[in-house]
Amino acid sequence: MLRPIMVCMLVALLGGCGGETASAPARPTPAPRIAIVVSTLNNPWFVVLANTARAEAQRHGYTATIFDSQNDPAKETAHFENIVASGYRAVLFDATDAKGSVLNATHASRAGVPVFTMDREIDSRDAAVSQVISDNYAGAEEVGEYFVQQVGEHGRYVELLGLVGDNNTWNRSRGFHSVVDRYPGLHMVAQQSADFDRSRALDIMESVLQAHPDIQAVFCGNDAMALGAYQALLGAGRAQDVKVFGFDGSQDAIRAIAESKMSATAMQYPQVMAATAAEFADRYLRGDRKLPRRVAVAVDLVTSRNAASLRQ
Amino acid sequence: MTYRLALTSALVVVLLIVFPPFHIRRIDGHAGGVANDHAASADVAHSAARFWDVSLTTQQVHPTDWLVLIEALQEDPVQGSGRYGRRPAIGGPWFYLLSGEARVVSIDARGLWLGGGAGLGDWRVLLQTGPIFGSALRDATGLLRLEDFSSFDFNELGAQLNRLSETRVGAVLRRDARVGSQLEFVAAGRLDSVSGDGHTLLLAPIRVTLK
């Protein structure tokens, strides 16, 4: 006799026992939010990275907001303070500085907001749950091998580096040199940073050409700089006899390779990195704690052999 | 008044010593280049030597017969790679741990070109003795993982293993191997992505016995 009453009481406790209890109209639960912090949106490559991350986060059921650090660590720090205070569930993070950005990631992690880096690595084993990075070293190694094939085992060349605080800059440089430095007849006559910036690369290349008019090649840490260097070579009347090598696989560079203006680049896959980081964040938020701490995404060599097929 | 001035001056001097307004530092960095403080750690060479001695050159690794791999790749490159290879990077190249017997059919600056009979088809296989690039030695066994290292250290580990192969195995082959030599080998392999023909296999030697 008591059993139906007890069952009814239990059900009532859990949410109602039939009847016509007045309840407020069900409000849709707002989707959890994910923040996407990117180093800059002033470069189409990072726009693709950010937009893909947002689309993938939305596909997994999150609301996503993009924060642009404008290559400024102080702005990045302000974004992280805002993100932590605003109740975001996770951060998909493209850092401004491998060392300097660790503090921001640590701050978020300690506040219970897990961080997933994409593209740019930070120098920490535990500030981020997972780091999805391009295999820059392997890509630059392949560019280096092709460089030796094209330039030969003797010659003089210039290297334009990206941002010196970015690990990608040095992994590309070291991968390239791991090959080229094995040929003692290849001499680097200048190595300068142009901050991944096309117009800076143009200016620097103009100066370098005045000091070293006899170079045979230039290796650049990204395609924007390679195209800036090409512009300087064009202005100096050297575009035909100085080979230009880049990195990124931008459509402008692929077009330049197909038109024999550049020799090669290494194609990165920002969409894959962003999608992987978003997937990892979703898995983590659903309880998966077996994510890899670091994972590499492949980079492919682009030369005149395959440039035409990669043009969009 | 003079006493107060002297006391103030002394205080200023003490403060300047304790809190110097600037520091004089030596500027380092290689000539003509940009200083790079993003270096690999010093013990990578030791880790590479240990991995070579303890894991690669002992019986802890189980290579596939090279002709079995090539036959599988000829039939179906995707299935063959998936069955016999390892691919640590998302969308990246496959790496293979291989062994076998072969005959040296030609020698050039890059290494020994191997013949293995009709089973090779139009495949070309180079046992490298010149500079070795890539990460086949690091990645073919699956025993080393990026997540256990910084990217700098992991990349340097691959480079150090390549150097060990060149100095410990390649040097002997350069000295002793001849066209027509028969050999047994264990090696880490990858397809030659720079040639891009899809059927040139580059082998980084681990153990080689000339017969």
pLDDT value at residue B55 = 86
Residue B193: which of A296, A308, A303, A273 has the closest Cα?
A303
If one compares B35 and A204, the residue with the highest pLDDT of the two is: A204
Which of chain A's residues have a Cβ under 8 Å away from the Cβ of B150? 121, 123, 125
pLDDT for residue A55 is more than 90: yes
Q: If you average pLDDT over residues A51-69, what whole number do you get?
A: 98
If one compares A125 and B127, the residue with the highest pLDDT of the two is: B127
If one compares A67 and A310, the residue with the highest pLDDT of the two is: A67
Task: Determine how many CB atoms are found less than 10 A away from the CB of residue B182.
Answer: 11
Strands (E), B79-170: 85-86, 95-108, 111-115, 124-128
* % residues pLDDT > 70 (chain A): 91
Does A64 lie at the interface with B, CB-CB under 8 angstroms?
no
Lowest mean pLDDT among A50-54, A303-307, B35-39, B75-79: B35-39
pLDDT value at residue A136 = 95
Name the band, by pLDDT with cuts 50, 70 and 90, for residue A30: confident
Q: If you average pLDDT over residues A32-61, what whole number do you get?
A: 95
Name the band, by pLDDT with cuts 50, 70 and 90, for residue A12: very low
> Minimal Cα distance from A194: which residue of B?
B34
pLDDT value at residue A24 = 56
Query: Looking at residue B147, what DSSP letter applies?
Result: G
B146, B150, B152: residue with CB nearest A295: B146
Q: If you average pLDDT over residues A247-259, what whole number do you get?
A: 95
Q: If you average pLDDT over residues B8-32, what whole number do you get?
A: 50
pLDDT value at residue B39 = 60
Q: If you average pLDDT over residues A28-38, what whole number do you get?
A: 91
pLDDT value at residue B28 = 34
Per the prediction, chain B carries an average pLDDT of 85
Residue A257: which of A301, A298, A192 has the closest Cα?
A301
pLDDT for residue A5 is more than 50: no
* Order of all β-strands in the sheet with A63-68: A63-68, A33-38, A90-93, A115-119, A130-134, A294-297
| 3 state DSSP class of A249 | coil
Chains A and B form CB pairs within 8 A to the count of 95
B90, B134, B145: residue with CB nearest A141: B134
pLDDT value at residue A17 = 38
Query: How far is residue B128's CA from residue A145's CA, in Å, rounded to a whole number?
Result: 14
Which of chain A's residues have a Cβ under 8 Å away from the Cβ of B132? none
Percentage helix, strand, coil for chain B under 3-state DSSP, each rounded to 5? 40, 25, 35
pLDDT for residue B14 is more than 90: no
By CB neighbour count within 10 A (0-12 exposed, 13-18 middle, 19+ buried), where does A32 fall? Answer: middle
Q: If you average pLDDT over residues A89-105, what whole number do you get?
A: 96
Name the band, by pLDDT with cuts 50, 70 and 90, for residue A38: very high
Task: Give residue B76's identity as a one-letter amino acid code.
Answer: D
Task: Determine how many CB atoms are found less than 10 A away from the CB of residue B203.
Answer: 27
pLDDT value at residue A217 = 98
Express each pLDDT in B137-169 by its tens digit: 999 999 999 988 888 999 999 999 999 999 999
ipTM of the assembly?
0.81
pLDDT for residue A21 is more than 50: no
Q: Which residues contact A211 (CB under 8 A, 6 or more apart)?
A: A190
Whether the CA torsion B163, B167, B168, B172 is positive or negative: it is: positive
> Inter-chain contact B196–A170, Cβ cutoff 8 Å?
no
Name the band, by pLDDT with cuts 50, 70 and 90, for residue B38: low
Does A163 lie at the interface with B, CB-CB under 8 angstroms?
no
Q: Which residues pair with A59 in a beta bridge?
A: none
Name the band, by pLDDT with cuts 50, 70 and 90, for residue A236: very high
Express each pLDDT in A181-215 by its tens digit: 999 999 999 999 999 999 999 999 999 999 999 99
Which of chain B's residues have a Cβ under 8 Å away from the Cβ of A208? none
Q: How far is CA B2 from CA B5, B10, B16, B198, in A?
A: 5, 12, 21, 89
Q: If you average pLDDT over residues B165-179, what whole number do you get?
A: 96
Instruction: Provide the whole-model pTM.
Output: 0.82
Express each pLDDT in B49-90 by its tens digit: 999 998 888 766 789 999 999 999 999 999 999 999 999 999
* % residues pLDDT > 70 (chain B): 80
Query: How far is residue A220's CA from residue A228's CA, in Å, rounded to a whole number?
Result: 10
If one compares B202 and A10, the residue with the highest pLDDT of the two is: B202
Query: How far is residue A191's CA from residue A225's CA, in Å, rounded to a whole number?
Result: 13
User: Quick one: angle between helices A198-211 and A223-235, nearest 10?
Assistant: 50
pLDDT for residue B7 is more than 80: no
> Minimal Cα distance from B159: which residue of A?
A178
A170, A192, A296: residue with CB nearest B90: A296
pLDDT value at residue B33 = 59
pLDDT for residue B21 is more than 80: no
pLDDT value at residue B25 = 37
User: Which of 92-131 (A) contact B at CB < 8 A?
Assistant: 98, 121, 123, 125
Does B109 lie at the interface with A, CB-CB under 8 angstroms?
no
Which of chain B's residues have a Cβ under 8 Å away from the Cβ of A296? 88-90, 92, 146, 151
Does A192 lie at the interface with B, CB-CB under 8 angstroms?
yes
Asked whether A248 and A57 are in contact (CB, 8 A), the reply is: no
